[in-house]
Structure 1
């Protein structure tokens, strides 16, 4: 039987310059994420859509969430398999598309982690772990686009 998990956050728009959305260019695309007991995350829209390029946008957060979920499951499954990981860094790439009317979507993502493993580790086994993660990761199981993995390994 499945166990239900609920997640919550408060997303609050902060871009009202005094006249709300009276005009398209009259408001900022800024907002924040507040989760009880955690630091506030300041966000904005994608800069191509009028957002502040210095702030995280929804697309940044989605690709980062996908990468982080994958990383956490990778570390767990590596530990279970006896593969010692000492460092994990990912530079994920989300592939999106937009239609002329402005609608957009992710069409694919590529996770590109560089993983430091103990010298002598079974690199084939270390690499095979990536293929198991989409069976268990909340985020990977929830996205409607393909996710590829291009991992590289450093033996230390």
Structure 2
């Protein structure tokens, strides 16, 4: 078992706060030293109350799912002797109502792969994706469906 830590920092910076017009911008800090500007999505609060250039929690959620899947895919491909040259995923999460509450309804992974030498068959790639999905800790932790839409 392991623990994974994140420090989330926000400051009021003199805003009234109780009028709901405070900044939603904050920072995520990780144990390796990485710091990420974060904020509420401009789809959730007025753009003036957020930092549109920062990562929002919904984007981070989709990125975590896609990253975990990719890391497992690469590991399984390497173990199977399949040499991947590049993996480029433009994953998308859809926010909507689920049981009357807003939630990420679905995540679609759209990896585009290039291989060294001859590419494996579509069936072999699909099998690697399925095995990666089964092993992904993040995918195993969420309720929404996750689909892989392969372009290979």
What range is the shorter-chain TM-score in? 0.7 to 0.9
Question: Following TM superposition, by how much is the alpha carbon of 1:119 offset from its aligned partner in structure 2, in angstroms?
Answer: 3.2
Give runs of ≥4 in structure 1 deviating > 4 Å: none
Gaps in structure 2 of 5+ consecutive residues: none
Instruction: Name 1:23's counterpart in structure 2.
Output: 19
Instruction: Name 1:7's counterpart in structure 2.
Output: 4
Residue number among 34, 41, 55 corresponding to 1:39 in the alignment: 34
The question of 1:77 aligning with 2:85 is answered: no
1:55-70 to structure 2, matched below 5 A, reads 55-70=54-69
1:91-106 to structure 2, matched below 5 A, reads 91-98=90-97, 103-106=101-104
Aligned residues: 146
Question: Alignment RMSD, CA only?
Answer: 1.8
Question: Following TM superposition, by how much is the alpha carbon of 1:135 offset from its aligned partner in structure 2, in angstroms?
Answer: 1.8
TM-score of the aligned structures, taking structure 2 as reference length: 0.88
| Per-residue CA distance 1:30-68 (angstroms, 9 max, x = gap) | 111111232211101010223321111000101011111
Question: Following TM superposition, by how much is the alpha carbon of 1:23 offset from its aligned partner in structure 2, in angstroms?
Answer: 1.0
Give distance in 2, aligned partners of 1:98 and 1:125. Answer: 35
Between structures 1 and 2, the one with greater helix share: 2
